[in-house]
Amino acid sequence: MMSSDQIPAENETRPTIYLKDYQPPAFRIERVDLDFDLQEEGTRVTCRMVLQKLAADQDDLVLDGDAGLKLLSITLDGQPVAADRLHRQDETLRIKAVPDHFTLETVVEIEPQKNDRLEGLYRSGGQFCTQCEAEGFRNITFFLDRPDVMSIYHVRITADKALYPVLLSNGNLVETGDLANGRHFALWHDPFQKPSYLFALVAGDLDCLKDHFTTRSGRDVSLNIYARAHDLPKCRHAMESLKRAMRWDEEVYGLEYDLSIFNIVAVSDFNMGAMENKSLNIFNTKYVLADPEISTDDDFDHVEGVIAHEYFHNWTGNRITCRDWFQLSLKEGLTVFRDQEYSSDQGSRAIKRIQDVRILRAHQFAEDDGPMAHPVRPESYMEINNFYTVTVYNKGAELIRMMHRILGADGFHRGMDIYVQRHDGQAVTCDDFVAAMEDANGADLSHFALWYSQAGTPHLDVREDWDDKTKIYSLYFKQYINPTPGQSTKAALHIPILMGLIGPNGGEMAARLIEGDADQTEKGWLLHVKEAEAVYRFTDLAAKPVPSLLRQFSAPVQLSSPVDDGQKHFLVRHDQDEFSRWEACQDLMIDAILKGVSAISLQKPMPDVSELIESCAALLKDADRDPAFTAEILTMPSEAYIGQKMTPVAVDAIHEAHQYLKKALADGLASQWRDLYARLANKGPYELTAEHKARRALRSVALLYLCFGGDSDPALKHYQTADNMTDRLAALRILSHSDDDDLRERIFADFYNRLAHEPLAIDKWFAMQALSLRPDCLDRVKSLLRHDAFSLRNPNRLRALVGSFAAGNQLRFHDISGEGYRFLGKIVGEVDRFNPQTAARLILPLSTHKRFDPERSAMMTSVLRGLAANKDLSRDVYEILTKSIS
Ligand code: PHE
Ligand code: ZN
C-alpha cells in the first residue's frame, strides 16, 4: 500500500525520524529534582535524577539537550564525570559506561531572557514561563525528553521576591520561604508521573482570580487563574467555563479531577493556543481573556472551548499519554472530539457542527490535498512542531466521531471506560485506543483503523436510480483517494454515511432495505460503505425519494451527490437534518459562484440566481424560528473555499463572481434585509445569552448585505452605537473595504484610540486592515509593519497582520504582481531566525503553489527557492520548503 516515491530531501543535521524505527527507552527516570535559580542575566538549572537501566545491552546513557545549554558540572553518584566519558553532539549528551542504577546531577546555565523561540524557559511581559511540548524541555536541561519516559517531579524555584512574588510549578505546593537578598523560594511536588513535555514553571508578578470546585466524590479543588491585574476581570468567563467543563467530564465520561489545585496562567507571547501542563495550564491570552469590550461572541465561545480542551487533557493526554509523537492524535484527536461535544452541549449542536465542518474543509481538506499531506498518525517527520496540524487535530477528531457513530454512544463510552482502566499511567498508541473500543464492544475495527494510516480525503461519487415499475430506489457509491506524498495507492475505507429519504411532502419516508450493509437509527439510515463500490437498494416506497446524504457530515469525505438544483432547494426547506439543510444551501451558492466564474472566462452573461434568492427569501421569512441557524445558512462560502473547488484557482474571477452573488442577494432581498436589521435592533444593553448572541449574529449578516450596495451609513451607525466588540467588529469589517478614504481612516483611528490599551483588540485592528479587499491592502500592511504597536516577536500580532493577509486574503495575497508572495518570503526569512515554529506556519500559504496558474505558481516557487538558499534555515522551515518544492 505504501511506496516511497516522494521521500523528502534530508541531510545529516536534519534527519527524518520514522515511526518504524521506534525503540523503547533504554533507561527509566524514577525521580527528578529540579532546582531553578532565576536571575535577570541567566538562569541556573540543577537537575538530579535517579536512573534505572532497562536495556541490559546499553552501556551508555544518551540524554537530549539543546546545543545552547551551558554545562557547568556533571556528577554521577556524587563523583564528577571525567571529560573523556562525555560526548556532546548536535542535540545530545552521551555519558559512557554508566551503571545499572545511579543518580546523575547536572548543572546548566540558560538564557531565558534571550529566548525568542518561545520554547523551553522564556520571558513574556516581565514574567518567566515555560513551553515544553513537544521537545522544549531539552532547552531547559539534559534529559530523556520523550513522552514514554515518565517520572515524578520535585521542583524548587528561587527568585527575587519583589519582581516575582508568584512562583508556580506542577502538582502541590509543599513549602515556601524567604531567603537572603530579597529572594524567596517555593517547592512543588507533583504526585503523578508525567513526561517532560508536561512540565511547567511560572514566575511573575501576577494577580489571581480564585474560585473552587467540589468534585462528585467530594474533593475540594482550588481554582486559580493568574493574569495581569488589569486583565483579572476578563478571566471570569474562563473560570465559569472551567467549572462547567469539570462538571461535564464527570457527567459524560465519569472522569474526575485528581488534585486539589488547578492553575491557569495567561501569557501574551505564545506560539500556540494553550498548553495542558499537569495542573498548571498555560494559555495564550487570546484563549483565556474575554470581555464584551474586546471579545466577540465567537471569542467567548473559543475561550470556553479551549479552556475545556486543556482541562480534558488531564485524562486524555496527561494520565494517559502518547508513546511517541507519531501518536499525537491519540491525545489531540480525542480531546478535540471531547471539546467539540462539550461545546455542542452548551449551545446549538447543529451550529457547532457547521462551524467545525467549515474549519475542517477550509484547512484540513486543503492540507490533505497539498505537499504536507500526512496521515492522522504520520509515518515520519523532520520537525515534530510541523505536525501539530489540522489533520492530527481535526481529522483525528473526525475519526473518533466516526467510531462514536459506528459503535453508538453507549458502546463508545464502554470503550472509553476500558481505555482508561487499562492505560491509566501509561504512554500508549492509537492502536491501543482502537483495541479498547473493539474489546469493549466485541467489534472488529481493523478495517476502520486504516483511516489512521492513510492520508488524503476520500472522494465519494454517488449515483441514483429509480425504477417506477418495481418502486425500487438504488444508490451506487464509488470511493477513491488521490495519491498523497509517499502513498501512491490507496485502499478503500470504511465510510459511515448517515442518510435519509425524503418524500414529496417533505417528510421522512419509511423504506425497506433489500441490499447493502446498513443500520437503521433514529436519525436515519447508517450505511457502511467499505468497498471501492457499493450498492444500496430500498423498496416499499410510494414515490421517488430525494436522498439526504451525509447528514451531520458523518464522514470527512468529498461527496458528489446525484441531487440536482431543484432537489437542493427542496432540501433547504425540508430536510429534518439541519446540517444537511445548510449544506444544500452552501452547495447552491458554490454552484452559482462557479457558474459565474466560467461565465466570466467565456465572456458569457452571468448566471440566473433568482431561484436561490427565492430560497433565501423563504429562509428569511422563517428567520425567527432559529436566528443563529439563519445567520449560518445565509453566510456565503469564502473565496478561498471556492478556490479549492477548481484548479487552477481563478483568483480574480472568483472574487468577481463572489461579489456578483453577494450583490444579487443584497439587491434581490433589499427590503427584507432592511426590515430584518431594524427588527433585530438592540433592545436594552448587551447580554451574553444564547438569544442575544443569535440576534447579533443574524443582524450582522443583515448589515453586511444591507451595506453591500455601497451605502456605508448603516455600518457607520452600527459602529458608533455598538456597546460590544461583536457589533463593533461586524461594522469595522464592512468599513475596512470602503473606498471612502476619510471614513475608513476616521473609523480605524477611533478604534485604535479607544482600545490602544487592549492588545487583543489591537490584534483585531491589524487583522481587519490585512483582510481588506482594497487594492492598496498590501501597501497598508507594509506600512503597519512600522507601526509602534507592531512587533514580529509577538506571535499573536504577527499572525494578526501577516498571517491574516497571507492565509485569509486570497484576492490580495495572490495578486498577479507577486508582491504578496515576496513580502511573505521576506517576513518568514526574518522570523525564522528567532522563532522557527511560527515562521514555519506562516509560510504554508506558499506551499499550495501547484493549485495556481503557471505564472503565480512560478513566482511562489521562486520565493520558496529563495528562502531555501539560506544555509541557516531552521529545521521547521526547511522541512516545509523541501516538501513544497520537490
Ligand atoms: N498540546 C496543546 C493543545 O493542543 C497544543 C500545543 C502544542 C501548545 C505545542 C504548545 C506547543 O492543547
Ligand atoms: Zn490539545
Distance from Cα 680 to the centre of ligand 2, integer Å: 38
d(CA 483, CA 496): 22
Distance from Cα 732 to the centre of ligand 1, integer Å: 31
Give residue 12's pLDDT band: very low, low, confident or very high (50, 70, 90).
low
Q: Which atom of ligand 1 is nearest to the CA of 136?
A: 11
Asked whether 388 lines ligand 1 (CB < 6 A), one says yes
d(CA 461, CA 470): 25
d(CA 719, CA 735): 9
Domain segments of the chain as ranges: 25-205, 320-452, 458-556, 564-736
Q: Which atom of ligand 1 is nearest to the CA of 276?
A: 12
pTM of the model: 0.98
Give residue 1's pLDDT band: very low, low, confident or very high (50, 70, 90).
very low
In this predicted structure, what is the pLDDT of residue 118? Answer: 98
Distance from Cα 273 to the centre of ligand 1, integer Å: 7
C-alpha cell at 137: 524541555
Where do we find the cell 431543484?
A: 566
d(CA 561, CA 581): 14
Please give the C-alpha separations between residue 841 and each of 444, 854, 880, in angstroms, as whole numbers. Answer: 38, 24, 9
Least confident of 3-7, 143-147, 634-638: 3-7
In this predicted structure, what is the pLDDT of residue 36? Answer: 99
| pLDDT at position 334 over 80 | yes
Q: Per-residue pLDDT tens for 46-93? A: 999 999 999 999 999 999 999 999 999 999 999 999 999 999 998 999
Asked whether 332 lines ligand 1 (CB < 6 A), one says yes
Of 291, 204, 374, 311, the C-alpha closest to 726 is 291
Residue from 287, 388, 393, 835 whose mutation best tests the ligand 1 pocket (most atoms within 8 A of CB)? 388
In this predicted structure, what is the pLDDT of residue 8? Answer: 41
| pLDDT at position 846 over 90 | yes
Q: Per-residue pLDDT tens for 20-30? A: 999 999 999 99
Angle at 192 between CA 191 and CA 198, to 5 degrees: 120
Query: What is the residue with the minimal CA distance to atom 5 of ligand 1?
Result: 275
In this predicted structure, what is the pLDDT of residue 547? Answer: 98
d(CA 737, CA 732): 9
Percent of the chain scored above 90 by pLDDT?
98
d(CA 228, CA 718): 32
Domains 25-205 and 458-556 share a fold: yes
CATH class of the 458-556 domain in this structure: mainly beta
Distance from Cα 441 to the centre of ligand 1, integer Å: 32
Give residue 7's pLDDT band: very low, low, confident or very high (50, 70, 90).
very low
- Decide if domain 25-205 falls under CATH 2.60.40.1730: yes
- Decide if domain 564-736 falls under CATH 3.40.50.720: no
> Is residue 703 within 8 Å of residue 666, measured between CB atoms?
no
Q: Per-residue pLDDT tens for 161-194? A: 999 999 999 999 999 999 999 999 999 999 999 9
Q: Helix/strand/coil (H, E, C) string of 324-339?
A: CHHHHHHHHHHHHHHH
Give the mean model confidence (pLDDT) for residues 851-867. Answer: 98
In this predicted structure, what is the pLDDT of residue 6? Answer: 36
d(CA 171, CA 414): 30
Query: What is the residue with the minimal CA distance to atom 1 of ligand 1?
Result: 275
Give residue 11's pLDDT band: very low, low, confident or very high (50, 70, 90).
low
What is the DSSP secondary-structure string of 42-72? -EEEEEEEEEEE--TT---EEEE--TT-EEE
| Amino acid found at 11 | N
Distance from Cα 326 to the centre of ligand 2, integer Å: 15
Give the β-pairing of 127-131 and 201-204: antiparallel
Q: Per-residue pLDDT tens for 594-636? A: 999 999 999 999 999 999 999 999 999 999 999 999 999 999 9
Residue 310 known to be catalytic:
yes
Q: Per-residue pLDDT tens for 146-156? A: 999 999 999 99
Asked whether 276 lines ligand 1 (CB < 6 A), one says yes
> Is residue 58 within 8 Å of residue 84, measured between CB atoms?
no
What residues contact 2, with CB distance under 8 A and at least 6 apart? 379, 486, 487
- Decide if domain 320-452 falls under CATH 3.40.50.720: no
Q: Per-residue pLDDT tens for 221-276? A: 999 999 999 999 999 999 999 999 999 999 999 999 999 999 999 999 999 999 99
SS3 563: coil
E-only strand ranges, 366-484: 380-381, 427-428, 459-467, 472-480
What residues contact 745, with CB distance under 8 A and at least 6 apart? none
Q: Per-residue pLDDT tens for 639-673? A: 999 999 999 999 999 999 999 999 999 999 999 99
Percent of the chain scored above 70 by pLDDT?
99
Catalytic-labelled residue, pool 119, 133, 135, 310: 310
| pLDDT at position 5 over 60 | no
Q: Per-residue pLDDT tens for 384-437? A: 999 999 999 999 999 999 999 999 999 999 999 999 999 999 999 999 999 999
Asked whether 135 lines ligand 1 (CB < 6 A), one says no
In this predicted structure, what is the pLDDT of residue 735? Answer: 98
Burial grade of 787 (CB within 10 A; 0-12, 13-18, 19 or more): middle
E-only strand ranges, 504-634: 512-515, 518-521, 524-529, 533-539, 546-548, 558-560
Asked whether 275 lines ligand 1 (CB < 6 A), one says yes
| pLDDT at position 4 over 50 | no
Give the mean model confidence (pLDDT) for residues 566-570. Answer: 98
Q: Per-residue pLDDT tens for 462-509? A: 999 999 999 999 999 999 999 999 999 999 999 999 999 999 999 999
10 Å Cβ neighbour count for 537?
18
Residue from 118, 275, 383 whose mutation best tests the ligand 1 pocket (most atoms within 8 A of CB)? 275
